[in-house]
Structure 1
Amino acid sequence: MNDMRQELIQTRGSATFVFDAEVSIELAPAQAPTFAPPADCFPLGSRVFLTHLPGKPEALQIEAARRIKELGFVPVPHLGARNFNSEQDYIDLVTAHSRNGISEALFLGGNPALFPGPLGEATQLLAHPVVKDSAIRTAFVAGYPEGHPSIVEAVLTDALRRKLDICAEQSLEARVVSQFAFDGDMIAAWASSLHTAHPGLPVHVGLA
């Protein structure tokens, strides 16, 4: 896990905190057109995660990722299995991102208990042939420092192992990014257990 040391700098007469390690932010695709952070607060080359919400046109995410990349940041679009109406919709979205040179993505199952399409798990997305043939070479998968409200820990552990195995088969660099968490001790224990089970696995902590 990155050491999140903070460096205090003075900007325009006021104190501004910036991180000297890798940080990222999350945006809804609709926020991308007005996204223009100062370089001293959010350096070029930083990751920008882009949500994938039910009912929102995939075209919004495609355009948002394209713009974020043009600005000099690294777009990381979310791909939520249960948000796709069909397998072809997933293929089309990955193909469009690949055409735009998008090299990283976050693969998720998604939250809806009922969903319209045949895809329901992140493992199905990762194992799909369209990924191996795409420009996406870094695959983020979800982590849960404070547990999941409807999935027991043993199931989460097995699911992560399967995702990492598929990433290796697909020649993808695997990284874990956590849901938003608030308990520092739980975050530290979770990250430590991941590094014990999977040495060298990059872990990114989500903070609200």
Structure 2
Amino acid sequence: MATPQIHPNWDKTPDIITDGFSLEMTAKDEPKLREAAPLIPADTPIAITFLPGEDVEARVAATVAVRELGFEPMPHFSARRILSTDDFEGYLKAVVEQAGVKRCFIVAGDPPEPQGPYSDTSALIATGAFERAGVQAIGIGGHPEGHPNMTVDECWDVLEKKVAEIERRGMAPLIVTQFGFDPDAFLAWLKELRARGVDCPVRIGVPGPAGIKRLLAYAARCGVGASTSVLKKYGISVTNLLGSAGPDKLVDAFANGLGSEHGRVRLHFYPFGGMTKTLEWIHDYEKRHGAA
């Protein structure tokens, strides 16, 4: 069975590390997406998160907007936040029919107990709903710095089983990592991933430029490692938390450190400081590093 295509030229080595990047947004970010659209290359994958307290209609509208603006929507499905089978399949049907969705991203979600019938992402995959709807690719989370509720061995076991099951069902797996500040942790994790025989594409999570306090707040909320030594690698001094920080050092480290042993890799930006600000940083980075 042919593997569905996840991104044009994915197998081509990027001329610059930011080539083929993807972005993340929330439903309420739709106006900001429209404002920033001229800065985004056509067909750029854009993930639409599944946050508590949002209307399904707002998520669907944001997904439709991504498609109408010429980008590739990738809506999230948060297993433990889904209230019923009807809610799950209704949302999936809406984004497929109204926005031509071909790829989805699945997460377990923050609630310690499921609010409906799905306890984790494997339960969503097992329904068969994604392949019945014509979805070609499924994104799953990667955790280079570990997971707060699983051991390292459990993380690898779960990841490998999900990749295999997605492929068995005729879809293409894609791993999108949590954002982080430590390039060494990401590079080591990628090498182990490939050594374990997992060769699917990976998108490395990168925080867009933002205020330092905001970055650290998101890190604390998401369980991201932010020790003094790690922050120093990123360019943040814990003695001075004023001002903003961009991912220059982090992205430089990936540009210099990624090799064939790390497999197919692209960047995924979390625009904590705003969509336009993140895109302006990307364009500036490309100009400084010789992109046309």
* TM-score, length basis structure 1: 0.87
| Structure 1 stretches of at least 4 aligned residues deviating more than 4 Å after TM superposition | 1-4
Percent identity for Structure 1 against Structure 2: 25
* Equivalent position SS for 1:35: helix
The residue number in structure 2 matching 1:29 is 27
* Equivalent position SS for 1:59: helix
The residue number in structure 1 matching 2:192 is 193
* Equivalent position SS for 2:106: strand
Change (3 A) 1:71 1:38: closer
Cα contact 2:80–2:118 (8 A) shared by 1: yes
Deviation for aligned residue 1:3: 5.2
Cα contact 1:95–1:130 (8 A) shared by 2: no
Structure 1: runs of 5 or more not aligned: 7-18
Change (3 A) 1:54 1:115: farther
Deviations 1:48-82 (CA, angstroms, capped at 9, x unpaired): 11110123222211111111001000111111101
Distance in 1, Cα, partners of 2:15 & 2:149: 30
Q: How does 1:8-157 map to 2 (within 5 A)?
A: 19=18, 21-36=19-34, 37=36, 39=38, 41-100=39-98, 101-157=100-156
AA in 2 matched with 1:56: E
Change (3 A) 1:29 1:90: same
AA in 1 matched with 2:31: P
Distance in 2, Cα, partners of 1:150 & 1:163: 17
Deviations 1:73-109 (CA, angstroms, capped at 9, x unpaired): 0111111101111122111111111212101110111
Cα contact 1:110–1:120 (8 A) shared by 2: no
Cα contact 1:49–1:78 (8 A) shared by 2: yes
RMSD: 1.8
Change (3 A) 1:155 1:58: same
* TM-score, length basis structure 2: 0.63
* Equivalent position SS for 2:145: coil
Structure number with bigger Rg: 2
The residue number in structure 1 matching 2:255 is none
Distance in 2, Cα, partners of 1:199 & 1:111: 26
Deviation for aligned residue 1:4: 8.0
Deviations 1:15-53 (CA, angstroms, capped at 9, x unpaired): xxxx3x2101111111113313254x4211111111101
The residue number in structure 1 matching 2:254 is none
Distance in 2, Cα, partners of 1:165 & 1:58: 30
Deviation for aligned residue 1:165: 1.9
Which is helix-richer, 1 or 2?
Answer: 2
The residue number in structure 2 matching 1:203 is 202
Structure 2: runs of 5 or more not aligned: 1-9, 208-292
Distance in 2, Cα, partners of 1:55 & 1:126: 24
Change (3 A) 1:54 1:4: farther
Relative contact order higher in (CA < 8 Å, ≥ 6 apart): 2
AA in 1 matched with 2:79: A
